[in-house]
Structure 1
Amino acid sequence: MSRANALSRTEDDAPTDVLVIGGGIIGLAVAWRTAQRGLRVAVVDPAPGGGAARVAAGMLAPVTELQYGEEPLLRLGMASNERYAAFTAELTELTGLDTGYRVTGTLAVALDADDKAELSELHAFHQRLGLASDWLSGREARRLEPMLAPGVRGGLLVTGDHQVDGRRLAAALVRACELSGVLLHRAEAVELLVEDDRATGVRLGTGERLLAARTVLAAGARSHLLPGLPPGVLPAIRPVKGQILRLRIPAAYRPFLSRNVRAVVRGGHLYLVPRADGELVVGATTEEQGHDTTVTAGGVYELLRDAHELVPGITELPLVETGAGLRPGSPDNAPLLGPTALPGLVAATGHYRNGVLLTPVTGDLLAEYLADGTLPERAAPFSPDRFALRSLV
């Protein structure tokens, strides 16, 4: 048996071309799209469909999330957003499961003069980049969303930003993987296997060894912590805690909000995402607290306080759930996509605030690389090697 064939088989002789470590929405999308290319794929995760997406609000907002200096990430996000309608329609057709994808748009608003000046500057930046966003007066913003506070000074309407339900999306991706022949190993990967300076698979907590021709590391905020990973192959992926609230909009209050609403309140970013089923998601804090996912009274208080300032009627709604998750942040807050310095190991991690948004494009780009061996040009700015190159410079 050749070395290539040996690497494509597990110890029990089950063939595996690609092994994905991590069953969040990124890992599942990569696995599903790769299996569609005809490769034999397996996923390792104790609870496929879990991860940060179960906590995320699911805003698909490449334009209103834009930060200065992030134009390559903007283009990647816009490309992914453009794929979302077809991506979710394909998932629903295959699985029969609704993903909660909605074409809603986003209204970003300013609550005081300083916020208005910042939002106006962002609008000018959008115009320089040729992005579609419309400036609104405070009165025009309140006409669109009557529940907004009377003091709203202005707004920025982006009709191209939308939303999806991360939990429903994850469930649909799990089912799509199952229907597409992806093997789901519901166990923990406890060690990356490396032989002759090449990644060859993983060892599970059960003691079982899974071998594969290529291994995709999609373990979110814990990606760089996998035992056996040689130093320097991946930069540190820092966990950034986000607390989030879920409220219920009674039928008598609907429509409470018609679109995603976001603002900067006391220097912190706040967003409200109304679901078609009456759920209202409010998020999210940004906390550098390591891997802690404790929901705190302070975090809940801050979100409710700021949300009340933006939409006063929100305090009348039932609070049904609180939660906290970990965003996987890379050193430049952009994802790591493609082959690493360790042959056989491919990265699909570091998506930070954009994991849900970038799921379709990540799945497509990685599947193309895994099937054809050539990294698509769109993924080039996000190569894991960019950090090693910076250190050399």
Structure 2
Amino acid sequence: MPSSPSSLPDFALVGGGLVGACLAEELSSRGASVLVLDSGTEPGHATNRAAGVAVPSLRYLGDREFYDWLRTAKRDLDADMARLEPEYGAFGVARPILRALRETDATTYGEVLDAIGVGAWVDGDELASAAPGLKLPPSRRYLLDEDGLMIDGRRYLDSVRRRCLDQGVTWQQGCTVREVSAEQAAVAVRTDGGTVHADRVVITAGAWSSGKGLAESTGIRPQRGQMAVLRTEENLSCILSSAYYLAPGVGDDIIVGATEEDAGFADHVTTEGIGHLLRFATTAMPGLGDSVPVELRAGLRPVSGTGRPLVGALPGHERIFVSAGHAGHGLLSARCTGKGLATGLVDDDWDALPYSMCPSHPLDGAA
């Protein structure tokens, strides 16, 4: 529906997944008027299909600034659980994470891991007691971190969205955005139902964040992640992170995932992908051979050319921003991203966001 200049919201967010919801809450808590536009029948396409492992990945250890930011994100997520769960219901559960590393990776990152205090090396009898029921190859080195976490993305998003509505955020579901363009005094957001204007716009549409009629593309693309949910009488006491991961869910099920596939916007599971996952699951935990697959699902992670989220102003635009490209750590880092971006938008203080996440890098072709 059209908006008149006198009723312009301070911010319109294009996309109502967890990244958009956390930003909407952060902006509204700072006194800004916020409009969220989401195209789905329900919010959170990727959020609702995420497996839920919410731990900084060791793949980012080579970039200490970014890895440390992810560790800060984990603390922000812990704070979200303490703040939101008493009011809106539980959405997370603490689980130890056992990482199976190749010897070369253990050698490469061993000193860094020891220096920053991420987990403890385990083997022999300690390994057997830490991971009962698992059949683990002796060729790997094992790092046990007690500070693991599983998150139910759907429940987390629902909690944040309800807080947004309590704070006065306007949320329009089933609203497909076709184009975003800067005008002289505002930004026009053209939807199937008309044109909405806002003082500033943030693209938070996940894998769908490229295009939207902008002069530049964000370069964000979808990456399919397939996973399976297994019902079993077996007990898994920790998250196993290896070629894939095996994790106890927030409920009683076990989750095995996830593939990383360039399959465009095809968000269906495949026989080949699920086959790889089930072979991994039953090899790592033979007792799962009698488990029942109760859900097979695939989600589309938003990934960028740099492997880092893009958060900030689009080059050449003073009123159009982006916050997308969180790949497999959206549940972990959505709150930290929202806090940092809201501080930048409201207070012009951008220090909380790693410089590697500035959108000008990938759009200029820099690595």
Could you tell me which of 104, 108, 114 is aligned with 2:95?
A: 104
Which letter maps to 1:236? G
Does the 8 Å contact 1:49/1:173 carry over to 2?
Answer: no
1:200 aligns with 2:215: no
Shift of 1:381: 3.0
Does the 8 Å contact 1:199/1:343 carry over to 2?
Answer: no
Taking a change above 3 Å as real, the CA distance of residues 117 and 374 of structure 1, as seen in their structure-2 partners, is: closer
Deviations 1:85-108 (A, max 9, x none): 2112222244x2322x22222101
Does the 8 Å contact 1:104/1:260 carry over to 2?
Answer: yes
What's the counterpart of residue 249 of structure 1? 232
Could you tell me which of 299, 315, 319 is aligned with 1:325?
A: 299
What's the counterpart of residue 35 of structure 2? 42
Structure 2 gap segments, 5+ residues each? none
DSSP 3-state at the match of 1:368: helix
DSSP 3-state at the match of 1:155: strand
Deviations 1:274-316 (A, max 9, x none): 1242021110011111111121111111000011111111122
Write out aligned runs for 1:187-336 (5 A).
187-196=175-184, 200-206=187-193, 208-226=194-212, 228-231=213-216, 234-250=217-233, 253=234, 256-264=235-243, 270-336=244-310
Does the 8 Å contact 1:368/1:376 carry over to 2?
Answer: no
Which letter maps to 2:120? D
Aligned-pair Cα RMSD in Å:
2.2
In 1, the alpha carbon distance for the partners of 2:26 and 2:52 equals: 21
Taking a change above 3 Å as real, the CA distance of residues 199 and 239 of structure 1, as seen in their structure-2 partners, is: farther
1:371 aligns with 2:364: no
What's the counterpart of residue 60 of structure 2? 67
Shift of 1:67: 3.4
Shift of 1:388: 4.5
1:137 aligns with 2:123: yes
DSSP 3-state at the match of 1:355: helix
What's the counterpart of residue 159 of structure 2? 172
Which letter maps to 2:290? E
Could you tell me which of 350, 356, 359 is aligned with 2:334?
A: 359
The alignment of Structure 1 onto Structure 2 pairs a total of residues equal to 362
Shift of 1:109: 2.4
TM-score computed with the length of structure 2 as normaliser: 0.92
Q: Which moved more, 1:270-279 or 1:293-302?
A: 270-279
In 2, the alpha carbon distance for the partners of 1:240 and 1:78 equals: 24
Does the 8 Å contact 2:224/2:266 carry over to 1?
Answer: yes
Q: Which moved more, 1:184-193 or 1:117-126?
A: 117-126
TM-score computed with the length of structure 1 as normaliser: 0.86
In 2, the alpha carbon distance for the partners of 1:216 and 1:276 equals: 31
Report % sequence identity: 28
What's the counterpart of residue 33 of structure 1? 26
